[in-house]
């Protein structure tokens, strides 16, 4: 049983990893086309990944530097482990991974695991801008968390459970049962907070171009970068899966998962294409406005 489950989980990991690469490529392509460029081929991420892993990795700045990508990738993989991917009607089903029905609190806090490792690893690189990027990232993350937590709590109240499996289960039987419609305030808060969580424009000061040149990501080369790329692709998909499970009724099959995550991801890319970047204090205050109000409303509606 456990072995089989491990197998399915690893298979899921593989699918998600590939889908993450593909999705990333598609969106870069879309972005390029929107700005009138041709863009990368859809297989470019794989090329990048294998090239990174293939080259000889020569340097390290120290233990934490070394462990940064490890934390990050573990964070991504762990998130996948703790999140049910596909709803099959069995809480211990094959695509629920090691989720223990996907405890929301565990997931919310485990999101921070990769971030923490990244923050520490980049810190040891000794590069000044990495610290800046992390500081901004943490600040923005905290701001995003507030409406997100409110909305998640609201959903938890709505279904009287912290189990993601049960939340998804409750949304089955037609889109009218989705949280998007049954709890529009929470959904609204989540959809807006999602923009911050995904880290696209206007909330991408964290990895603004000048930092991309010389920030955390460029501090890492070779295998480190390869790990980071993998982690990135997994995390992107898993965040989308999280929101899908919470708001959009989850997925009963892989194609559904792929379509839904694509659309969710599309939303944040779309906004990113349209809106210019915020400064960090602007983005924080933005999250304290509409999303926060929606989150509080969501709580109020369901607590009384």
Instruction: Using the minimum distance from each CB to another protein, give the nearer residue, 163 or 265.
Output: 163
Shortest approach of another protein to residue 266 CB, angstroms? 27
Contact set for another protein, span 249-288 (CB under 8 A):
279-282, 284-285, 288
How many residues belong to the site for another protein (CB under 8 A)? 83
Is the distance from CB of 190 to CB of 108 less than 8 angstroms?
no
Instruction: Using the minimum distance from each CB to another protein, give the nearer residue, 152 or 258.
Output: 152
68 is written with which tokens?
Answer: 């940064």
Residues 6+ away with beta carbon under 8 Å from 96:
84, 85, 86, 88, 90, 102, 165
Place of tokens 């912290």: 162
* Stretch of residues binding another protein (CB under 8 A), selected from 41-49, 172-180, 219-227, 252-260: 219-227
Helices (H), 100-183: 104-124, 128-159, 164-170, 179-182
Is the distance from CB of 29 to CB of 42 less than 8 angstroms?
yes
Residues 6+ away with beta carbon under 8 Å from 279:
205
Site mask, another protein, residues 179-218, x = CB under 8 A?
Answer: -----------------------------------x----
Site mask, another protein, residues 7-46, x = CB under 8 A?
Answer: ----------------------------------------
Contact set for another protein, span 51-70 (CB under 8 A):
53, 56-64, 66-67, 69-70
Site mask, another protein, residues 75-104, x = CB under 8 A?
Answer: --xx--xx---------------x-xx-xx
Shortest approach of another protein to residue 172 CB, angstroms? 19
Instruction: Using the minimum distance from each CB to another protein, give the nearer residue, 25 or 149.
Output: 149
Instruction: Using the minimum distance from each CB to another protein, give the nearer residue, 72 or 260.
Output: 72
Positive or negative torsion for Cα 259, 113, 189, 132: negative
What gap in Å lies between CA 113 and CA 115, rounded to an integer?
5
Contact set for another protein, span 102-161 (CB under 8 A):
103-106, 108-110, 112-113, 115-116, 119-120, 123-129, 131-132, 134-136, 138-139, 141-143, 145-146, 149-150, 153-154, 156-157, 160-161
Shortest approach of another protein to residue 265 CB, angstroms? 23
E strand or H helix that includes residue 248 = none
What are the φ/ψ torsions at residue 130 (nearest 5 degrees)? -65, -40
What length is written for the chain?
A: 304
Is the distance from CB of 183 to CB of 154 less than 8 angstroms?
yes
Q: At what angle do helices 290-303 and 128-159 cross, to 10 degrees?
A: 20
Contact set for another protein, span 281-300 (CB under 8 A):
281-282, 284-285, 288, 295-296, 299
Positive or negative torsion for Cα 100, 105, 108, 110: negative
Instruction: Using the minimum distance from each CB to another protein, give the nearer residue, 30 or 138.
Output: 138
């Amino acid at each position: 049983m456990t072995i089989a489950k491990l197998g399915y989980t690893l298979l899921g990991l593989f699918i998600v990893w590939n889908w993450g690469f593909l999705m990333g490529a598609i969106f870069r392509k879309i972005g390029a086309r929107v700005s009138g460029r041709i863009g990368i081929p859809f297989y470019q991420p794989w090329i990048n990944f294998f090239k990174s892993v293939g080259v000889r990795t020569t340097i390290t700045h120290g233990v934490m530097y070394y462990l940064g990508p490890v934390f990050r990738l573990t964070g991504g993989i762990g998130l996948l482990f703790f999140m049910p991917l596909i709803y099959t009607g069995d809480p211990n089903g094959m695509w629920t991974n090691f989720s223990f029905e996907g405890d929301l609190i565990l997931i919310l806090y485990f999101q921070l695991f990769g971030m923490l490792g990244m923050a520490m690893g980049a810190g040891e690189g000794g590069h000044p801008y990495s610290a800046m990027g992390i500081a901004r990232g943490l600040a923005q993350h905290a701001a995003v968390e507030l409406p997100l937590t409110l909305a998640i709590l609201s959903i938890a109240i709505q279904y009287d459970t912290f189990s993601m499996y049960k939340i998804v289960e409750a949304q089955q039987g037609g889109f009218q049962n989705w949280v998007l419609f049954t709890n529009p305030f929470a959904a609204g808060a989540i959809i807006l907070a999602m923009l911050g969580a995904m880290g696209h424009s206007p909330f991408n000061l964290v990895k603004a171009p000048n930092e991309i040149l010389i920030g955390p990501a460029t501090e890492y080369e070779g295998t480190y970068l390869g790990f980071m790329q993998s982690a990135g692709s997994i995390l992107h998909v898993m965040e989308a899966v999280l929101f899908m499970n919470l708001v959009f009724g989850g997925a009963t099959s892989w194609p559904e998962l792929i379509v839904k995550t694509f659309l969710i991801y599309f939303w944040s890319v779309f906004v990113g294409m349209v809106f210019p970047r915020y400064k960090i204090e602007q983005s924080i205050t933005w999250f304290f406005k509409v999303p926060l109000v929606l989150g509080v409303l969501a709580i109020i509606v369901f607590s009384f």
